[in-house]
Amino acid sequence: MEQILQLWQASGLYQISLGQLVMIGVGLLLLYLAVAKKFEPLLLVTIGFGGILSNIPGVEIATGDGLLHLVYLVGIETGAFPLIIFMGVGAMTDFGPLLANPRTLFLGAAAQFGIFATLLGALGLSLIPGLGMDFSLKEAAAIAIIGGADGPTAIYVAGRLAPELLGAIAVAAYSYMALVPIIQPPIMKALTTEKERAIAMTQLREVSKLEKIVFPLLLLLLIALLLPSAAPLLGMFAFGNLMRECGVVDRLSDTTQNALINIVTIFLGLAVGSKLQADVFLTSSTIGILLLGMVAFGIGTASGVLMAKLMNALSSTPINPLIGAAGVSAVPMAARVANRVGLEANPQNFLLMHAMGPNVAGVIGSAVAAGIMILFTSGT
């Protein structure tokens, strides 16, 4: 009986807490959303499974010398994994739509307004007593970057500025990216008329190979010289794109787009999931992060649409305001949503390639915003 009792006391069922049960439920929910609903499955499957592992009592895979903790130290605390993923995203990105219609760069820039508005919101919540949301400037900056709807950038900034909030920030960022088809359409329709949503845009011009090769180099030099803190993210993004477009390193480009980014995605998701431990995640701060992330995403979407409307008022060449919503960095899902809502208003209106311009610009904008956040909070 003594041995049976010892076996029972050593079991996870005996040691498990209510908080761990809740977080295991959260992990299962993420797996359900990924498998059944196809919401960002590449990340939610790995994050959800890592969250379950990290909340099983007696399992030390997410602490100490455990595999997931070591992966976190090597890949996320150093910032390596988000940078490698940015390189892969660059290798899969076509700058053609942006180069064919450079005005859409303003739409991507406008969508980043949600980041800075949320920074102020997070700091404002810290001034309200009794909420338990006493965010520092670094923590507020890390939370605000969720508004860019760019998972790797959010993880990179959180790892640099607020590693203790990484789990909540990563879950919020990828959850809202996955919910783009649900969150964005009501905002887009509320800010536009049926006539505006039916605006047909002219065919994009053909972009030369030389333009596509030169652009990532100019982008890197311009941004890196003006804002060195953004150079790591944009540098890897530009390098991946250069491999794609130069045409002489197809093997490297193929590896970056497929095998390398897939391997890193697996370990990134598991490492992020290891930070969903109950004692860290189940706090009032997490609730605040989830709410602020939703606000940031909504403001970013609205800002892009409103900027497109402003550009229409100042230009004789109309832009369908729906593509402004693609200024958030959820590539290519936000562009697909803009195209779908446009087709509802005009079955002959294909906006996908037009929306890819601000979508790609949003990736650049979120990286620049991340650099600004890191620059201005590095001394706090």
pLDDT of residue 98: 94
**What are the pLDDT tens digits along the chain (380 aa)?**
778 887 777 777 768 899 999 999 999 999 998 999 888 898 889 999 999 999 988 888 888 889 999 999 999 888 899 999 999 999 999 999 999 999 999 999 998 988 888 888 888 888 887 776 788 899 999 998 888 778 899 999 998 899 888 888 888 887 777 778 888 999 999 999 999 999 988 888 899 999 999 999 999 999 889 999 999 999 999 999 999 999 999 999 999 999 999 999 999 999 988 888 888 888 888 888 888 888 888 999 999 999 999 999 998 888 999 999 999 888 888 999 999 999 999 998 889 999 999 999 999 999 999 999 999 887 65
Long-range contacts of 178-184 (CB under 8 A, 24+ apart): 178/33, 178/37, 178/39, 178/40, 178/44, 179/39, 180/149, 180/328, 180/330, 180/333, 180/334, 180/337, 181/333, 181/336, 181/337, 181/340, 183/294, 183/297, 183/298, 183/301, 184/301, 184/325, 184/334, 184/337
Structural domains in the chain plus CATH codes: 17-54+61-377 (1.20.1530)
Place of tokens 């180099």: 217
Place of tokens 């499955």: 41
pLDDT of residue 149: 75
pLDDT of residue 380: 57
- For the full predicted model, state whether its pTM sits above 0.95: no
pLDDT of residue 51: 92
Structure tokens at 100: 């064919």
